[in-house]
Amino acid sequence: MIFTVAIDGPAAAGKGTISRAVAERFGFAHLDTGLLYRAVGAKGGDPVEAALTLSDADLTRDDLRTLEAGQAASRVAVIPEVRAALTDYQRSFARREGGAVLDGRDIGTVICPEAEVKLFVTASAEVRAHRRWLEVGGDEAQVLAEVIERDKRDAERATAPLKAVEDAVVIDTTVLSINAAVDVACRVIAEALGVRQ
């Protein structure tokens, strides 16, 4: 069975947690596409060359979840040649046998517009910044400023800007618990699969 779930949304909205949970629940493979961009940014040097030579070792670095890696990812993600280099890998992953869940910023809009399920996970900038601050520490006001800056850069980039597609189900986690958000996502996927939970 080929079945793709595309989950998009801004940083720290909960899309990664939801993606991992639904992938596990339905037995689908999972790809955090942000890790690809974080790995390219973390490699340094020429970003296009980094994207073209990305290895499994690059994707398992222990510094990919840092705030710095996130900022680097956002900077290299605006480069069309970097995006093109990573697109084929993501599309191939999405259409693998057994089902796949991909989370990122342009899965439903660019990578997998034909996905059987499209979700857009969001939350207020303040709530997302607080979550990120709990993860990485530092100055909470600075984390909020960086979240707002990244949102602006991701939404205004010329190539694949962050936005919800018309047929996406929006899940706002500002006041929704992660368990409740996962339940909403699972109901949408189960309905699309034509199964009852």
* Binding site residue list: 9-17
Output the six-digit token pair for 20. 């991992």
29: β partners: 100
Q: Which residues are annotated as part of the binding site for ATP?
A: 9-17
For the chain, the straight-line distance linking the first and the last C-alpha, in angstroms and rounded, comes to 19
> 3-class SS at 165?
coil
102: β partners: 6, 31
- Count CA atoms within 13 Å of residue 50 on its CB side: 22
Closest C-alpha to 108, from 100, 118, 116: 118
Q: What angle do CA 28, 123, 21 make, to 5 degrees?
A: 20
